Amino acid sequence: MRFHTRKWVKPEDLNANGTLFGGKLLAWIDEEAALYSIVQLESKKVVTKYMSEINFMSTAVKGDIVEIGIEVIKFGTTSISLNCEVRNKMNHESIVTVDNIIMVNLDDKGNPKPHGKTKVEFVKDRLAKQEKE
C-alpha cells in the first residue's frame, strides 16, 4: 500500500475526548479516495458509491501526524474498488481501516460511465509516453 497523504492533527480536528474526531478522519479518507480515483481514472466526475465496514483500531491526539494509504482492489467497468488504511506516521500504528470503498465514474448527466482503465498507472509514465508521441 502506498501512503500518499499526511495530515497533522490540529485542535479543530478533535472530539470532546481530545482525540481525533472520527467524522474528520472519514472526510479525509473520502477526499483521498476521490483524489486517488480522479488521478487513476483521469476523470473529474467521480463519486463515492459505497464504503464497507469502518474499523477504528486506535486513536490520534493533537500534534500527531497521520498518513493515509490507498490501494486498488479492482478496476470495474464504471467503478474502482479501493482499500484504505490510516496510520500514525511515526510508529505505523493502525488507526482505521476501510476494506472496500467503491468510487464510480460518471458522465455529464450523472450516470455511471465506463472508465476504460484496467491497471494502476503513474502520472510520470503517462507524461513520458506523451513526450515520446
- Closest CB to ligand PKZ among 64 and 82? 82
Applying CB under 6 A, among 5, 19, 48, 94 the residue interacting with ligand PKZ is 48
- Closest CB to ligand PKZ among 18 and 110? 110
Written as nine digits, the cell of 36 is: 486517488
Find residue 83's DSSP bridge partners: 71
Applying CB under 6 A, among 3, 5, 26, 30 the residue interacting with ligand PKZ is 30
Applying CB under 6 A, among 24, 76, 89, 121 the residue interacting with ligand PKZ is 76
User: For the chain, how big is the Rg over CA atoms in Å?
Assistant: 16
- Closest CB to ligand PKZ among 14 and 35? 35
Applying CB under 6 A, among 28, 68, 102, 113 the residue interacting with ligand PKZ is 102
Spell out the SS3 assignment of the chain: CEEEEEEECCHHHECCCCEECHHHHHHHHHHHHHHHHHHHHCCCCEEEEEECCEEECCCCECCCEEEEEEEEEEECCCEEEEEEEEEECCCCCEEEEEEEEEEEEECCCCCECCCCCCCCCCHHHHHHHHHHC
Tell me which residue has cell 483524489. 35
Q: Which stretch binds ligand PKZ (CB under 6 A): 2-10, 20-28, 46-54, 117-125?
A: 46-54
Applying CB under 6 A, among 40, 59, 79, 88 the residue interacting with ligand PKZ is 79
Written as nine digits, the cell of 91 is: 510508529
Q: Does 5 bind ligand PKZ (CB under 6 A)?
A: no
The contact set with ligand PKZ (CB under 6 A) reads 30, 34, 44, 47-50, 76-79, 102, 104, 106, 110, 112
